[in-house]
Amino acid sequence: MEGQGNSDWGSMIYLTRKIEFSAAHYYHNPAWTPEENRRVFGKCANLNSHGHNYVLEVTVAGTPDPVTGMVLDLKELKEILEREIMERMDHRHLNHEVPELAGKIPTTENVAATIWNLLQPKITKGRLHRVRLYENPDLFVDCYGDGQ
């Protein structure tokens, strides 16, 4: 039936789900003087904080299950993203309320890498391929873990 005679059947598919969360942060290196912090981090060094509407695209690679036709159930991915990311980061302060970011400067690079580390062990069907985190439409970071 489906796929018979299609030589691409069983090939790798990349599936992406998008979520949005809003969070506050600031950039501050405690080893530096206030002047150094301001010089390197500019407006982001304001200790009163500012915030962003982050957009997160999570891409999972895998071959569709021959019975369901799915790499993984989107509902399951939605629940993982809700539990691991939304509950941790949405309407939170990244410097003060996210233990995984403690001691790190919550740049888009570090937040994307943290999200990779949170999601990678939870995705057991297919494998996490890429985490793309937009801080705003003109700035994003792609994280591929330790591989591609």
- Judged by the rule CB under 8 A, the positions of this chain that interact with other proteins are 27, 29, 31-32, 40-42, 104-110, 112-113, 116, 130, 137-148
Contacts of 41 (CB under 8 A, 6+ apart): 27, 28
Residue-wise over 47-79: b if at least 16 C-beta within 10 A, else e?
eeeeebebbbebbbbbebeeeeebbbeeeebee
Which of 20, 36, 91, 109 is catalytic? The answer is 91
If the CB atoms of residues 19 and 41 are measured against other proteins, the closer one turns out to be 41
What is the H or E stretch that residue 55 is in?
strand 50-62
Q: Which is nearer to other proteins, 123 or 143 (CB)?
A: 143
Please indicate whether residue 28 is annotated as part of the active site: no
Q: Which of 18, 78 has the CB closer to other proteins? A: 18
Cα 20 to Cα 16: distance, rounded to the nearest angstrom:
13
Nearer to other proteins, 21 or 108 (CB): 108
Strand-pairing partners, residue 56, are 19, 133
CB of 29 to other proteins, least distance (A): 6
The reply to whether 143 belongs to the active site is no
Nearest distance from C-beta of residue 144 to other proteins, angstroms? 4
Matching residue, tokens 């981090």: 41
Cα torsion angle, 129, 119, 141, 145, sign: negative
Q: Among residues 57, 76, 100, 135, which one is catalytic?
A: 135
Asked if 96 is an active-site residue, the reply is no
For residue 44, what is the DSSP state?
Answer: G
Closest approach of other proteins to the CB of residue 24, in Å: 16
Least distance from other proteins to the Cβ atom of residue 143, Å = 5
| Active-site residue list | 44, 91, 135
